[in-house]
Structures are given as C-alpha cells and as structure tokens.
C-alpha cells in the first residue's frame, strides 16, 4: 500500500492504527460480517450468527461491505474468504484441503513458492503502470468467482486480458 508523502505524521499514525485494528480478530469480523449486534451476533462459544436479510430461498442476500476492500488492501484477504457466507462451505473445504496439501508438499520439499522480486514489483513501465490496477481488480474478481464455484472464471479472465498481459510481459522483459 502506498501513501502520499505529504501525509502528516498524525494522519499516518491514525491510518496505521486503523489498519492494525482491521488485522485484529475484532477487525476481521467487522470487515467480514459488518457491525456486531446489527449485522451479526456471537455466542459465548464464539459461534457467529448472521443477521443479514435472506431471499425467498433462505439464502443470504449479498451485503456490500466497503471495509472488505480496505482489509484486502492491507492483507492477503484469504482469511476473509473462509468467513464469507456467500461462498458455499464445500468450496471453502476444497480450498482448505488444497492449501493443506500444498503446505505438506512444501514441507516435504516437493514444491517451492515463488518469491517476489521487489525490483520487478516496483519497476515502472508504461503498460505495466497503465494496466496493473485493472489486472489486479480483475484477477481478484476472477479468483473470487472461481472460489465461489465458477470454474472457468480464471481462464476467462486470462483470455480476455491476454493481449494486454502479453504487452506488459514484453515490456518487463525488455526492461530486465
């Protein structure tokens, strides 16, 4: 996350305090469910009950929580996907099984994670700068759709953006 360099120290400290709170358990639940007592309740055992409106089939009506977007910007957001009541439990279970399998393979030294090349991440180039925001939001949307069961969402995203992705890759390769 980038900040304006003219931001006062007081404002920066307040922003960092809010971001820190949003990464706490209380902040996670606020971002995932809304306002405690209005949008959800929690019993003594920690079980959360949503108070969201439901449609005629008894399914929750999607609630727009802007705090989810802010939390995503300061975290990886993977923890919120598991709390999202709009994602079926079977999809969450599949994700957790996949994550556990990948972690086991990593621990057995059978797979390796790619580390982020900070020089590449901060490289400024015309196409990369032009498309990075739309690529990011489109990729998040495609991943969310995929996790919600739309299995073709990732390939659809790639195919739709392939021409611009290729431009950015060529530009980055030329700069390296």
**For the segment 1-33, what is each residue's pLDDT rounded down to a tens digit?**
556 677 788 888 888 888 888 888 888 888 888
User: What does the pLDDT look like over 27-70, one tens digit per residue?
Assistant: 888 888 889 999 999 999 988 898 998 899 988 887 777 777 77
**Is a pLDDT exceeding 70 seen at residue 95?**
yes
CA 34/CA 51 separation, integer angstroms: 10
- Domain-located, residue 11: yes
Could you tell me if residue 81 is inside a domain?
no
Residue 165 lies in a domain: no
Q: Is residue 54 part of a domain?
A: yes
In a domain, 171, yes or no: no
Q: In a 3-state reduction of DSSP, which class is residue 143?
A: helix
Provide the residue range defining the domain that includes 60: 1-76
How many other CB atoms are there within 10 angstroms of residue 84's CB atom? Answer: 19
Provide the whole-model pTM. Answer: 0.49
**Residue 20 vs residue 78, higher pLDDT:** 20
Q: In this predicted structure, what is the pLDDT of residue 9?
A: 87
Tell how far CA 162 is from the center of its chain.
22
Overall number of domains in the chain: 1
Radius of gyration of the chain (CA): 20
Report strand pairing: 40-42 vs 48-50: antiparallel
Q: Is residue 43 part of a domain?
A: yes
CA distances from 87 to 3, 23, 131, 136, 144 (A): 32, 21, 29, 21, 9
| pLDDT of 143 strictly over 70 | yes
Residue 3 lies in a domain: yes
114 token code pair = 């790619």
Residue 162: predicted pLDDT: 92
Owner of token pair 């490289």: 123
Q: Say if 19 falls within a structural domain.
A: yes
């Amino acid at each position: 996350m980038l900040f304006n360099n003219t931001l006062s120290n007081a404002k920066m400290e307040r922003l960092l305090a809010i971001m820190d709170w949003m990464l706490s358990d209380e902040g996670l639940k606020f971002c995932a469910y809304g306002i405690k007592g209005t949008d959800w309740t929690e019993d003594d055992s920690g079980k959360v009950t949503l108070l969201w409106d439901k449609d005629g089939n008894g399914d929750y009506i999607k609630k727009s929580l802007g705090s989810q977007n802010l939390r995503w910007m300061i975290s990886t957001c993977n923890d919120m996907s598991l709390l999202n009541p709009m994602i079926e439990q079977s999809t969450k279970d599949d994700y957790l099984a996949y994550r556990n399998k990948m972690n086991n393979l990593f621990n057995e030294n059978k797979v390796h994670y790619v580390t982020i090349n900070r020089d590449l991440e901060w490289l400024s180039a015309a196409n990369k700068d032009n498309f990075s925001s739309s690529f990011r939001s489109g990729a998040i949307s495609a991943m969310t759709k995929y996790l919600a069961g739309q299995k073709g969402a990732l390939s659809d995203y790639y195919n739709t953006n392939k021409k611009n992705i290729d431009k950015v890759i060529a530009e980055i390769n030329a700069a390296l």
